[in-house]
Amino acid sequence: MKNKKIIPIFLPYGGCLNRCIFCNQRAISKDIPSPLSVKKFIESSLLTLSPIKNKTYRQVAFYGGSFTAMDKDEQIKYLQIAKEFILKGEIESIRISTRPDFIDEETISFLRDFHVKTIEIGAQSFDDEVLQLSNRGHTKEDTISSVKILKTLGFEVGIQLMIGLPGDTLKKFLETLDRVIDLKPDFIRIHPTLVLKDSPLENLWKSNQYVPLSLKDAINWLKKGILKLENASIPIARIGLQPTKELEAHLLAGPYHPAIRQLVESSIFFDMAFELLKRNTILSQAIFICHPKEESNLRGQRNENIKKLKTEFSIKELLIQVKEDIERKSLILKNESETFLIKRKNLPFEEI
């Protein structure tokens, strides 16, 4: 399989018809770039990529705002720039991010002419009350319809979700994931809701009308979500916004961590280790065996997982061994007399 390299172009508020309650895209990208600056950025980005013989699949991605809701002439200016690189064989295709209620047959035909292959739909939630409170301006049915149309016509489709929006609950989030699984997108992104300076959500937060998720709660929601999506074979492209100086400068509150995906993975591995230890009699020493790339997840930040497990089960010595032939997302426990295996897909999962 080819490695995919995305060259991201941010068009803040491009095509936005209303202001979502959580939004301040200036916190991610300052200004909307001109077509000329986009061309120069793609050229400079290509210089940093591996040669084509290394089979890197290259996409130019237009993020931010709602691309298909922009004026058609504006869309053409940006798409034409990217298409020039496609015709020269320097990139393979284009991806865009847009609203679910701005996808129709005419738009799809137009995008296909410009080699758009991947479309990310900003759904945020499949709960209509949450969407209304967030001032999204569309319904869950809009998302369902747009994803079905795009998949039927052969596009690669991603769905973007947020957790902790006004009115959101863990139960609603898990129900949203049920709807996502029904649609079978090619991938999904999930972002915890953050309170950003100069966003409409700032005033609600300051007046105590909105309380963001704690980092602990966000990790718990995301952990349950990851396990649910993995068991349905839905790839997760990203969790959390890309850490930037602009984002951190605008951050007022919410479950932000620059490595939130790693925190979630560590929490899952703690649960796996806990289940193994809970089911078995440990005397004084236990040995965990995992794939080398899972060791940091098992240990947790600053070895916190190991410390907590030793305290919880009164284990004097808890060791970790790594082996390349151990399957990823699995964990083996050895004690004085027995060996046990758990896979994360077999973790107990309780619906809310």
* DSSP H or E stretch at residue 263: helix 260-278
pLDDT at position 2 is 56
Inter-CA distances, 3 with 50, 78, 97, 137, 259, Å: 10, 24, 21, 36, 22
Report the 10 Å Cβ neighbour count for 9. 24
Phi, psi of 340 (to 5 degrees): -135, 150
pLDDT at residue 283, as a whole number: 64
Which residue reads 């919880």 in tokens? 312
- CATH node for 266-346: 3.30.2320
Beta bridge partners of 63: 10
228-to-176, 178, 262, 277, 324 alpha-carbon distances in Å: 11, 9, 17, 23, 26
Q: Are 62 and 111 in contact (CB under 8 A)?
A: no
pTM for the full predicted model: 0.90
Tokens of 327: 């399957």
Note the pLDDT of residue 7.
94
Q: What angle do CA 218, 221, 222 make, to 5 degrees?
A: 85
Give CA separation, 205 vs 125, 172, 210, 266, 342, in Å: 20, 21, 5, 30, 42
Strand (E) or helix (H) holding 107: helix 105-113
- At 198 the pLDDT is 87
73-79 contacts: CB < 8 A, separation 24 or more?
74/14, 75/110, 76/114, 77/35, 78/9, 78/11, 78/35, 78/38, 79/111, 79/114, 79/116
Closest by alpha carbon to 82, among 106, 58, 102, 50? 58
The answer to whether the CB of 79 falls within 8 A of the CB of 26 is no
Q: Find the length of the chain.
A: 352
Give me the pLDDT at residue 28, please. Answer: 53
Task: Note the pLDDT of residue 4.
Answer: 81
Question: Average pLDDT by consecutive 10-residue portion of the chain (352 residues)?
Answer: 80 66 60 89 87 72 88 93 94 94 89 95 96 92 95 95 97 97 97 93 94 97 96 95 87 95 97 90 83 97 95 91 95 86 81 46
**How much is the pLDDT for 352?**
44
- Please say whether the dihedral angle defined by the alpha carbons of residues 128, 95, 80 and 46, taken in this order, is positive or negative: positive
Instruction: Specify the CATH number of the domain 3-258.
Output: 3.20.20.70
Domain ranges of the chain: 3-258, 266-346
Is-contact 296 322, C-beta < 8 A? no
